[in-house]
Structure 1
């Protein structure tokens, strides 16, 4: 009984120390977070009036998730990301930009999700293997590591799927945007004005990239660098050729209308050839479902009556 009371008191002391440390760290961060949110929403004056009327916010009024869980996750993300190499962090950041998730995902969150997937799948396999004696210790370790690696690679797989989907949408949208740019420039508008109108009236990943390019240029970035960044974020050959042609036209002083017309014709022709190539692959892709699903059904329909009549005559 004395041992139980001693362990319980030690646990209570450790918990109170940990709670006091977290409360001391979280309180100023929560106040700064609330002020930043109020500035973003344009309610600074109202927030100050509320603070003067009600005084400072008490620690008990802060939700448990905001007070304990969110800071713990932030500290864990920072600790995990600090252990990752800089080249890996840069590569993950580039892939997040390619997926168009820069405003939703961060490098720290991605690394933490990968580590969480590895730990979760490994723990699940440890629990499953501990209840089964059919596998040896080496086999249990191998299965645990295998499923742990699979869980750690799951965020990477989802990120690659998002990148491929976005690239496919950009390839479908690029000819339409180029045609509108070509028509607008030939009608007398400048390239910037044409791009501004298209960005204001259209939606899509390539339009978002053009909008980001305009914002970068307005912030002081050189036009060539902004165009290079668009090609780097998209990682599509047609987009790279289009941006390279625009950079060369600006550098050499050639007509922007002719450049856009040539690029629109070339990209439309490449798109037509790509569609023809995919259509030529269709007969080959149909063979497998034809052999696996359609031929057995045809054989059943054609041969079963003959077999039944033959067995009846015998």
Structure 2
């Protein structure tokens, strides 16, 4: 702390009262000037040339078919891949999984996420600088306050995409958790009526699309992947990974074990659907039991002060009048 204080005093003595602000702004400009050439630079990769030749040869069969076969990413973001993607494979996998569970399934989701963080951080930082120069530069503002006015909005802009993705992930998981017991009951009815599990998943996805679109979308993805010829266990495991809900993971385990050991899927669904109904009732009871505790504080804040004013107020006024009369 003493070291930073000495640097601050030195900057103030050399550049005036706003020396730290000028130093931070200069450092930011230098960093931007150093980063821009890295972003603009497009290194020629032999593998990229080979991919480009393959796309040109595939383009003879039509642009839409070529795009579907190569499943290429956004070429505009490819130049900035090293800057918009974490270099650590574990961190990249974690961010991709988080975005996948939040409902962002495109191949460029990680790049768009980091691009949004960078853009909002620079935009809010610019707004902070403009606000400080227009409204606060003429008054008495300390160096710490100036830094907060400038860097605070930039930090908020950087954290805003993360907050948005986290809230979207939580809402999506809550929607899947709420609609899962109903979907199991529908699936059990379809299986007992003679339909296969694949047909049941398609029917359930169509029925719950209006009430629980996120869960219906997951079921539809599973149905399409099974129709494409993929094995059922891997498709179900990917569904559990995309949802990120413990109930879905347990359901996938039940179906995979039922298929592996050759047991009845209807019996497994019946038992698990009953457990999910009981679990939903327990969640409702838990929320109901938390309600009195949450309302206690609001009740005390809204009812106790007026009650005290009504009961104690006249006595306080009478005592004050007595003291006034005694003083006279």
| Mapped pair 1:97 → 2:106 | no
Partner of 2:242: 233
Partner of 1:129: 132
Between stretches 205-214 and 133-142, larger displacement belongs to: 133-142
Partner of 2:218: 209
- 1:215 deviates by 1.2
Question: 1:164-198 CA deviation, whole Å, 9 max, x = no partner?
Answer: 11111111100000011112212222211222222
| Mapped pair 1:223 → 2:235 | no
Distance 1:176 1:105 in 2: 34
What are the equivalent positions in structure 2 for 1:115-264 lying under 5 Å apart? Answer: 115-130=118-133, 131-132=136-137, 134-137=140-143, 139-141=145-147, 144-203=150-209, 204-264=213-273
Question: 1:221-270 CA deviation, whole Å, 9 max, x = no partner?
Answer: 22111111111111111111011111111111111001001110111111
| Mapped pair 1:85 → 2:80 | no
- 1:309 deviates by 8.4
Distance 2:108 2:300 in 1: 44
TM-score of the pair, normalised by structure 1: 0.69
User: Would the alpha carbon gap of residues 74 and 193 (structure 1) be closer, same or farther in structure 2, given more than 3 Å must change?
Assistant: closer
- 1:293 deviates by 2.3
Distance 1:136 1:311 in 2: 46
Distance 1:202 1:174 in 2: 10
Instruction: Work out the number of aligned pairs and report it.
Output: 248
- 1:284 deviates by 1.2
Extract unaligned runs of 5+ from structure 1: 1-31, 41-72
Partner of 1:21: none
Partner of 1:278: 287
- Secondary structure of 2:188's aligned partner: helix
- 1:289 deviates by 1.1
Distance 2:227 2:100 in 1: 20
- 1:304 deviates by 5.2
TM-score of the pair, normalised by structure 2: 0.66
CA contact (8 A) 1:96 1:105 kept: no
CA contact (8 A) 1:199 1:211 kept: yes
What are the equivalent positions in structure 2 for 1:284-295 lying under 5 Å apart? Answer: 284-295=293-304
CA contact (8 A) 2:198 2:226 kept: no
- 1:147 deviates by 3.1
Partner of 2:115: 112
